A and B are shown apart, each in its own frame.
Chain A
């Protein structure tokens, strides 16, 4: 088999594993979120489907597939159907540049074809030169799905939810983009593997300590970008019924939810890569890629799990922002803080050089 075909098969395998892995993580996120929230409120949460409710996501999925789907009479039908597809497709596309661990060596199992045994695989879909810029572009596209869903429903709640959502995501995306610049200044690279490699050694080399204010801005803006509490204004139940997905049912509703969760996972994974040392354990006496590189992968997975738990914890703890407070905070606090911190980082770097 020619090396090109081998490489193509390898990449297709990586894409398949990553996307299916994301689907599994998404479905268990819904379960774990419900159970974590339940425990925080002294309830039990869904625990009847299988041991500890482990089969609940599958039950939900099957139920949603068989639910009657309807489109309201006044809706714009093509856009109404297209919106969830756009939302979920852009959410999946933005996972392309995330690194899920260091290089992984395929063990020499007998049932694998010979060229795959001992092959070193990068746990990343595409190692683009423009890396972060690609993500910057795609995170803007994600807004389209939500605005289309809100407008096409021809429902006032949905329209206001969609518009609020677009304004919110625009405002916080600016702060999000600005919070990445100090990291690029420190590591001089757009590529995530290089950014992670720049944080090797002891854990105080991680960017969350090196450029701490940028990390704080990233946390807040990332939460807002994923539409999570306390920034879940687009679907504020008490004022807007369910916001932009008021009129959605069946699997189209599930796709919108999936887009939201995949975005949350991407933001967690990206935060881990850029600020929390990626697959580095932070303890240099441990070999970071021992045992086929699995140590790196599990370190990364544990950090992402911690990040996701942080999001659930926020939802269990904080009340929702008021919309004017949200816009004030985004434009008048986060953006100036992020911009000034870029200049501070640049000044310190120039002074040290």
Chain B
């Protein structure tokens, strides 16, 4: 019996090999001939002002933080859902308590405006 992860390894080798092959071949066939105008940043025909290594809105960071918090909790729901038939009403009440706590945090984030764009 083949270990179940071996096919995934084969797939990984294929996926990485395919990406590397395509990039190398197109590099060899494409023959880059850069000029100053070509190498410039695309800015709709205007000279670009500054670089893109600048500050950006903190909202993106906030969304990512909330995502990480809630995503871990979502991952916690999976094993619970898997054995739910054995848990019955006990599992339901436990999950209700968990979701209420989670919902409290979510409501807090909502009310302080972390979800407003």
Measured CB to CB, the residues of A under 8 A from B are 4, 7-8, 11-12, 14-16, 19, 64-74, 81, 84-85, 88-89, 92-93, 95-96, 125-129, 132-133, 136, 140, 151, 153-160, 163, 166-167, 170-171, 173-174, 177-178, 180-182, 184-185, 188-190, 241, 246-247, 250-252, 254-255, 323-324, 327-328, 331-332, 335-336, 339, 342-343, 346-347, 349-350, 353
Contacts and interface: CB of A to CB of B under 8 A. Distances in A.
Helix, strand, loop or mixed for chain A's interface? helix
B18 A92 contact: yes
B63 A4 contact: no
Given A335-B70, A350-B92, A74 B51 contact: yes
Interface in B34-57: 34, 38-44, 48, 51-54, 56
Nearest to A66: B29
A19 B7 CA distance: 12
B67 interface: yes
Contacts of A163: 56, 60
B101 interface: no
10 contacts: A7-B2, A14-B7, A73-B40, A136-B78, A154-B52, A156-B54, A185-B81, A323-B117, A328-B117, A339-B103
A188 B63 contact: no
Contacts of B32: 68-71
Given A11-B7, A15-B7, A184-B81, A85 B41 contact: no
A153 B77 CA distance: 38
B30 A188 contact: no
Contact of B18 (A19, A125, A167, A339): A19
Helix, strand, loop or mixed for chain B's interface? helix
B2 A4 contact: yes
